[in-house]
Amino acid sequence: MKATVYIATSIDGFIARQNGEIDWLPSEEDFIEGGEDYGYQEFIDSVDALVMGRNTYEQVLSLDSWLYDAKPVFVLSSRKVDIPNDISETVESICAPPREVVRCLSERGFKHLYIDGGKTIQAFLREGLIQQLIITKVPILIGTGIPLFSSLPHDVRLYHLETRQFENGFVQSKYEVIGNAA
């Protein structure tokens, strides 16, 4: 099973403000206006399903439209997750540790997962379950917030695959996770 992270951070490494707000990210209109999707459509077409934490799910749910169409989405939560009727065919709640999630979804035939949400990414990374990271740096400093990475029990070695620079100052780097150094 392949698991990939595709995420944006501020230059200072935050994925959201302390309160979870992502108002510093460009709006959907900015993407449409600029005509650049930063490789998102190609990436989303390559994945079978998304795995995200509850906080990320609730943030996405608050947007004007559901971003994932009919792509299966699995929300990690130990509490009941409210799933609106219009997306109930494709959204499911799971309460399991990362390794069990991967095993379960693999048994269901999924081959490539998009892992999203700070705590979820960190948990999958700690377990050695992420194979690729695609990180887009947005040219803004927000000073404090929710970091993409947290403490790890060991070093995680990465191999740099490519870096792309965009006209608006975004810089996107793609890494392959080559192993955990004990």
Q: Could you give all domains of the chain from N- to C-terminal order, each with its CATH number?
A: 2-181 (3.40.430.10)
Output the CA–CA distances (angstroms, integers) from residue 139 to 9, 11, 144, in the order listed.
9, 6, 15
From first to last of its 182 residues, the chain has per-residue pLDDT tens of 999 999 999 999 999 999 989 999 987 666 555 678 889 999 999 999 999 999 999 999 988 889 899 999 999 999 999 999 999 999 999 999 999 999 999 999 999 999 999 999 999 999 999 999 999 999 999 999 999 999 888 899 999 999 999 988 999 999 999 976 54
One DSSP character per residue, the chain reads: -EEEEEEEEETTSEEE-TTS--TTSPPHHHHHHHT--TTHHHHHHH-SEEEEEHHHHHHHHTSSS-TTTTS-EEEE-SS-----GGGTTTEEEE-S-HHHHHHHHHHTT--EEEEESHHHHHHHHHTT---EEEEEEES---SSSEES----SSEEEEEEEEEEE-TTS-EEEEEEEEEEE-
pLDDT of amino acid 151: 87
